[in-house]
Amino acid sequence: MDFFSYRDHTLMCEEVPVREIAKQAGTPVYIYSAKTATEHVARIQEAFAPIDPLICFSMKANSNHTLLTRLLAQGVGCDVVSGGELFRALKAGCSPDKIVFAGVSKTDGEIETALKTGILMFNVESIAELENIDKIAGELGTPGRVALRLNPDVDPETHRYITTGKLENKFGIDMKVAAAVLDDWHFKNVSFVGFHLHIGSQITQTKPYAESITKTLALIEHARNKNHPVEYLNVGGGFGINYFGNEARTMPEYAEVIVPLLKDQGLKILFEPGRFIVGNAGILVTEALYIKESGAKRFVMCDAGMTDLMRPSLYQAYHKIWPVTSPIEFDSIADPEQDPRLVLTDVVGPICESGDFFAQDRRIPLVSRGDLLSVFSAGAYGFTMSSTYNSHPRPAEVLVEGSEWNVVRNRETYEDLIRDEVI
């Protein structure tokens, strides 16, 4: 679901023509639809109303300040994975008691800041980390709250780089180890408040959730029998979105499986969606600078590349790509392989790597020099993963709200590239 649509053959973001933004803000540019993101939050809230979860937005998906303020206005909290994200969350006005802090390598400094801030809880990834938080909390005289992140050894059936809940992953605590720790809880400066799950990203099945929750409920019973009042269960995120078409599950489909499992358990439920909220809420707009026929291929050379959007190179991820202005409607294509209006194309970037591509052997309308292309579903893990490789300044970010639009992050300059260097 999103509020990007073609009107008179030109792409609109909500009520604003994308080409107008590109003209004024330049390319490459990320354009976010606020309404798409907030609508996704509303859908989670609605589907899961029976268990009234706290939604902690996974900031690693998109940490843009202004966009984040719009989500916070819906009562959303933050899932942070670093001191940098904690800093951003607080800057955007997130209440500390709505912040959860995950990540396998929390530094002493990050832990100290989080304790002093009074965040809701740490999602603790290892016993060594638990001991360290306890030690630092003791030294500071500032008690902390911890959830144990479990590694339920469940296969989420997604890309191996975004699989996080199997035993061979670095994340979370083995369930037997967690049980043993609770049996012999001797930490004086941290209180155990519940469990955390996060089994992966872009999960398009309900079964992995059911499986990991069911395993965890058994552990919750065990913990309660040992006199641990288990207050919270953080189910994590990972809800898949549509990159191709309709491969994702809807929130009601997830809720149908998850709500009955959790409804009468006396638990406060947390969710940590990121991609689900913002993935389809953003596009990356790029200009085609050169066209080249090389051997059997037509290359469209764009001004955006892997430095702006890493997912195709890193995960071989698919992103729909379509001209910002096109008489051919995407939805009118029955079979791209057979449609004579489409041309076999590699959409590539300016970076000096063969891995710098957005699409290979993709059939899209004929693109000419100066045309604008939209790379869709780029709102999550887009800008946050960007780099300045090849000394390409990072792109601008624009937020659209109805018929208004604003640059919410300025395009980097050459001076920015060397700002931290000793010249």
Among 105, 214, 250, 316, binds a second copy (CB under 8 A): 105
Q: Which stretch binds a second copy (CB under 8 A): 42-50, 238-246, 320-328, 392-400?
A: 392-400
Q: How far is the CB of 387 from a second copy (least distance, A)?
A: 4
Q: How far is the CB of 36 from a second copy (least distance, A)?
A: 20
Smaller CB separation from a second copy, 92 or 193: 92
Report how far Cα 56 is from the mean position of its chain's Cα atoms.
12
Smaller CB separation from a second copy, 7 or 176: 176
Indicate whether 129 belongs to the interface with a second copy (CB under 8 A): yes
Q: How far is the CB of 198 from a second copy (least distance, A)?
A: 8
Contact (CB, 8 A) for 21 and 29 = yes
Nearest to 25 by CA among 349, 382, 285, 396: 396
Indicate whether 85 belongs to the interface with a second copy (CB under 8 A): yes
* Total residues binding a second copy (CB under 8 A): 96
Indicate whether 299 belongs to the interface with a second copy (CB under 8 A): yes
Indicate whether 343 belongs to the interface with a second copy (CB under 8 A): no
Q: How far is the CB of 195 from a second copy (least distance, A)?
A: 17
The answer to whether 302 is a known catalytic residue is no
Q: Which stretch binds a second copy (CB under 8 A): 6-14, 47-55, 83-91, 211-219?
A: 83-91
Helix axes 108-117, 127-140, angle to 10 degrees: 60
Among 88, 311, 319, 320, binds a second copy (CB under 8 A): 88
Contact (CB, 8 A) for 372 and 324 = yes
* DSSP code string of 258-288: HHHHHTTS--EEEE--SHHHHGGGEEEEEEE
Cis peptide before 28 (omega within 30 of 0): yes
**Residue 359-378 contact track with a second copy, rule CB under 8 A, x = bound:** ----------x---------
d(CA 151, CA 104): 12
Secondary structure (3-state) at 306: coil
The count of other CB atoms within 10 Å of the CB of residue 346 is 17
Q: Which stretch binds a second copy (CB under 8 A): 33-41, 62-70, 240-248, 332-340?
A: 62-70
Q: Which stretch binds a second copy (CB under 8 A): 49-57, 137-145, 250-258, 287-295?
A: 287-295
Indicate whether 294 belongs to the interface with a second copy (CB under 8 A): yes
Contact (CB, 8 A) for 140 and 115 = yes
Enumerate residues 138-177 that contact a second copy by CB under 8 A.
Answer: 151, 160-164, 167-171, 173-174
Enumerate residues 305-324 that contact a second copy by CB under 8 A.
Answer: 305, 310, 313-314
Residues 6+ away with beta carbon under 8 Å from 5: 11, 12
Indicate whether 290 belongs to the interface with a second copy (CB under 8 A): yes
Position 328, amino acid: I
**Residue 384 phi, psi (nearest 5):** -60, -25
Smaller CB separation from a second copy, 128 or 334: 128
Q: Which stretch binds a second copy (CB under 8 A): 180-188, 203-211, 253-261, 291-299?
A: 291-299
In terms of DSSP bridges, do strands 54-58 and 29-33 run parallel, antiparallel, or are they unpaired?
unpaired
Indicate whether 295 belongs to the interface with a second copy (CB under 8 A): yes
Q: Which stretch binds a second copy (CB under 8 A): 8-16, 238-246, 332-340, 385-393?
A: 385-393
Indicate whether 62 belongs to the interface with a second copy (CB under 8 A): no
Contact (CB, 8 A) for 101 and 126 = no
Q: What are the E-state strand segments in 158-237?
A: 173-174, 190-196, 232-234
Indicate whether 409 belongs to the interface with a second copy (CB under 8 A): yes
d(CA 61, CA 39): 17
Indicate whether 63 belongs to the interface with a second copy (CB under 8 A): yes
d(CA 98, CA 87): 14
Dihedral (CA of 6, 7, 13, 14) sign: negative
Q: How far is the CB of 103 from a second copy (least distance, A)?
A: 6
d(CA 47, CA 77): 18
Enumerate residues 225-244 that contact a second copy by CB under 8 A.
Answer: none
d(CA 102, CA 80): 6
Indicate whether 346 belongs to the interface with a second copy (CB under 8 A): yes
* Catalytically annotated residues: 352
